[in-house]
Amino acid sequence: MRKIILAILILVFICFSIPIIFTSRKIQTANAEVNIIQEKTQEKKVYDYQKYNKIKLLHSEENKIEEIGLDEYLYGVVSSEMPASFEEEALKAQAVVARTYTIYKITNNDQKHKGADICDDPGCCQAWISKEERLAKWDEENREEYWKKIEQAVDKTQGKIVTYNGEPINAFFHANSGGATETPVNVWGGTGYPYLQTVVTSGEDAYNQYHSEASISKEEFEETIKKEHSDFKIDFSQKDCIKIKEYTDGNRVKTIKVGNLELSGVEIRNLFQLRSANFKVTIDGDNIKFEVIGYGHGVGMSQTGADSLAKQGKTYEEIIHHYYTDVKIENM
């Protein structure tokens, strides 16, 4: 009887063990396949530095294309986009961001540059200036020191780019955030980018780019809006003829009532060439007065914010991770 019970127990154990063994093998096989796929995907996302060692730069004013070394191009970008008097770590952050933006432009080329990879128009891509032109603009006593700082910022971060999910990010940057950056959807619409969120930075009020004012006559104010909106009407005697209705998370004007219209803060900024969409507006006698905080669209890295963080002891890696969410800094 004991032998029969023992045999039954062994049989039951075998019946339960076989599916477990096969299932375990299937899981191991599946995991191995996933690892292979991930490795292949990672292989596809490696960017060969030598492949991008030369780029085609469109000089917008001359409408000419020049083939130039990537590092030489970045010297011109960093020296044009950020003051050389800024902290070394801020300049390094700018170099990595500029390199990332360049690689993003090349890998997502929309053919609008007539055979070039990128242009030197800051309204379209990134500002750029030749070494000779830059040195001529600096005081003679600072030229050697400043250019050395620019070269070191690029050379010490050579090949490093900012990635999200293995791809170079669209590394937007601007002059001064006014204390808080903006999400792309509030500037250009669309769906935005997950790595470009609103972040706060202290110390930006110490820079000249932080505060500005603009005063426009009522007549010019009305005429400027009518050029874009022919049905525009406004009665300046009405108390709430101009009223901000909504702000973004980055403290910029999202919607504003102007006479019979509701416009975005971005449109008002563009119409009246304000430094930022972070503004207050008042009627001052015969004029419309804007008090503006910050400089630029506000998306991505703030350059004065980067310098402020560097002054607080932050490294360029920490600065980049502050402004771009859930990203990695990787070698190309």
- Residue tagged 């049905």 (tokens): 231
Give residue 177's pLDDT: 98
Rounded CA-CA distance 288/218 in Å is 6
Give residue 114's pLDDT: 79
Give residue 191's pLDDT: 79
Rounded CA-CA distance 49/91 in Å is 21
Question: For residue 281, how many other CB atoms are within 10 A of its CB?
Answer: 23
Rounded CA-CA distance 236/250 in Å is 29
Beta bridge partners of 255: 246, 264
Give residue 156's pLDDT: 98
Concatenated DSSP letters for 13-24?
HHHHHHHHHHHH
Rounded CA-CA distance 117/99 in Å is 13
Give residue 2's pLDDT: 55
Give residue 26's pLDDT: 44
Q: Any idea where the domains of the chain sit in the sequence?
A: 54-174+315-331, 211-293
pLDDT in tens, the chain (332 residues): 555 555 555 554 555 554 444 444 444 444 444 344 344 434 445 566 667 889 999 999 999 999 999 999 999 999 999 999 999 999 999 999 999 999 999 988 767 887 899 999 999 999 999 999 999 999 999 999 999 999 999 999 999 999 999 999 999 999 999 999 999 999 999 878 999 999 999 999 999 999 999 999 999 999 999 999 999 999 999 999 999 999 999 999 999 999 999 999 999 999 999 999 999 999 999 999 999 999 999 999 999 999 999 999 999 999 999 999 999 999 98
